[in-house]
Structure 1
Amino acid sequence: MKASSSDRLFLLGRRTALGGVAVLLLAAGFWSSWGTAQHVVLAKGREHGTLTVTRCSASSCTGSYDPDGPAGPRAGMTAERSVAVRKGERIPVVVKPDTHEVVRTGLGGQLHAWLPFGGALLLASPLIGAGLRMTRTAWVTGLAGLGVLVAVFLAL
């Protein structure tokens, strides 16, 4: 039985809408991650050093920052709170330009920065698989997102 033109139009509209939602999810996850990841990924030329955590609140940790090189230590630098950071711990960081904020570097920092994008990949996979009927792409997308989430859990 052939599909009528209204059925084909409905399917095209559904695929377009679900594809738009999936792209929006992925773009929002990437944009959310890039705000932090740019400082870790493009760290060349930025100020590097070590943060000694002195206190943590619900959303951030503060401590003294000891830069690599001849500059002296600075107090009052803040970093986004991570479950893996404890009082007294020393973590490698890079300073966000013109702020008192630092971002964790290394593998743990890179993975933590891309955590929102990993979640977006995982959330978009059912839309891609069920809505767009692209099952292989959905499996790859979902497994990539799950891989990022598991790697962050293991690294931090």
Structure 2
Amino acid sequence: MIPAMPASAATSSRQAQVSGTALRFGRLVVMGAVAVLILVAGVWGSWRTAPYVMLTKGRERGTIEVTRCEGQTCTGPFTPLSPGSPGHARMVIEKTAAVKKGRSYSVVVMPGGDEVVRSGPAGVLYAWVPLGGALLLASVVVAGGLRRTRLAWVMAGSGVALLTAAFVTM
């Protein structure tokens, strides 16, 4: 402290430094929690179909020939490839930009219903599309809120690579 400076000026400077540190720490905690929440939501959204597509051992696999599309779904007969699986006259697949009437797709049957999901590399990548979007969104939070630009670029690049690969394979 400078002898001519009053004691209150040094105290207020110290308080400003402490409050600035607390605000930075609070920003890091909150933005880190938001980034983790976004990534967890991406994994959660992907996990609806990912285990069925990735872990196909013991699951009913086959092909579906799309004969009719309306609304958000397409239907068609299911021809099993797994030994002991019965054929189904009508199974439902989600209508996406890649599903077209008159084409056949390799699929895995979701347990407990008449819904199927794409299998193979296209199905695996499509199942993880929500995670790719979450990586892109979280990269903005990491860059702006956490000020970790390198990590943000890696996350954004991973998200773009995943989304591009899914688009190309579908």
Amino acid at match of 2:29: T
8 A Cα contact 2:60 2:85, kept in partner? no
Amino acid at match of 1:54: T
1:72 CA drift (Å) = 4.3
Residue by residue over 1:57-88, the C-alpha shift from the partner in whole angstroms, topping out at 9 and shown as x without a partner, is 23111111011135442122111112111111
TM score, norm. by length of structure 1: 0.94
Match in the other structure for 1:21 = 34
Check 1:154–1:56 CA distance in 2 against 1; reply closer, same or farther (3 A cut): same
Where do residues 72-111 of structure 1 align in structure 2 (5 Å cutoff)?
72-111=86-125
Matched, 1:57 2:67: no
1:144 alignment partner, one of 120, 136, 158: 158
Q: How many residues align?
A: 156
Amino acid at match of 1:38: P
Residue by residue over 1:99-135, the C-alpha shift from the partner in whole angstroms, topping out at 9 and shown as x without a partner, is 1111100111111111010000011101111211211
Match in the other structure for 1:42 = 55
Instruction: Flag structure 1 segments of 5+ consecutive residues without an equivalent.
Output: none
Larger radius of gyration: 2
Instruction: Flag structure 2 segments of 5+ consecutive residues without an equivalent.
Output: 1-12
Task: Determine helix, strand or coil for the equivalent of 1:4.
Answer: helix
Cα distance in structure 1, aligned partners of 2:164 and 2:121? 13
TM score, norm. by length of structure 2: 0.87
Task: Determine helix, strand or coil for the equivalent of 2:49.
Answer: helix
Cα distance in structure 2, aligned partners of 1:102 and 1:117? 21
Matched, 1:113 2:127: yes
Cα RMSD (Å) of the superposition? 1.5
Matched, 1:66 2:71: no
1:134 alignment partner, one of 148, 165, 168: 148
1:40 CA drift (Å) = 0.5
Amino acid at match of 2:46: S
